């Protein structure tokens, strides 16, 4: 699978700064190979890192700048929103998860790495969710 085929959910990005060494190592291994993220992934990651993990803004900025240098960042558009709403309804996903899936589809990705969504779920016959931390 090429970097162009891979999309990372916020939880994978957040594991880069996790105290769980095995998950942090796995996240680093995957992200270092490149892929796609969306602006939503950046926003969710920054929110969790500052609010829940109590990281300083400059520390969060440093981590996300590194991720941005490796991964292509895809914008959120009205089309993303419309597709995300359709996905949320059809697959019974949360709005936020559906927007991530919509961004991945718009980027032309075939694999969505996420710990939060159902491992093995195929969305719109194109995008397969894979839990990178499942044994």
8-19 per-position pLDDT tens digit: 999 999 999 999
d(CA 118, CA 33): 23
Let me know if residue 135 belongs to a domain: no
The answer to whether the pTM exceeds 0.85 is yes
Let me know if residue 111 belongs to a domain: yes
Do 123 and 88 contact (CB within 8 A), yes or no?
no
pLDDT in tens, 74-98: 999 999 999 999 999 999 999 999 9
Structural domain for 48, as ranges: 3-130
**What is the domain-level CATH number for residue 44?**
3.40.50.1010
Do 18 and 24 contact (CB within 8 A), yes or no?
yes
For the cut 80, the answer to whether the pLDDT of residue 3 exceeds it is no
Let me know if residue 59 belongs to a domain: yes
Phi, psi of 68 (to 5 degrees): -65, -30
What is the DSSP-derived secondary structure letter of residue 75? Answer: P
SS3 call for 30:
helix
Q: Rounded to the nearest 10 degrees, how much is the dihedral formed by the CA atoms of 8, 63, 135, 84?
A: -20
Total structural domains within the chain:
1
């Amino acid at each position: 699978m090429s970097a162009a085929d891979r999309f990372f959910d916020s939880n994978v990005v957040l594991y880069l700064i996790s105290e769980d060494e095995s998950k942090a190592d796995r996240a680093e291994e995957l992200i270092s190979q490149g892929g796609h993220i969306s602006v939503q992934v950046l926003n969710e990651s920054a929110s969790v890192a500052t609010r829940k993990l109590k990281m300083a803004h400059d520390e969060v900025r440093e981590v996300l700048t590194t991720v941005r240098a490796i991964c292509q960042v895809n914008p959120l558009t009205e089309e993303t929103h419309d597709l995300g709403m359709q996905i949320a309804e059809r697959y019974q996903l949360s709005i936020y998860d559906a927007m991530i899936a919509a961004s991945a589809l718009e980027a032309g990705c075939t694999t969505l790495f996420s710990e939060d969504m159902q491992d093995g779920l195929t969305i719109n016959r194109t995008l397969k969710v894979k839990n990178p931390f499942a044994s």
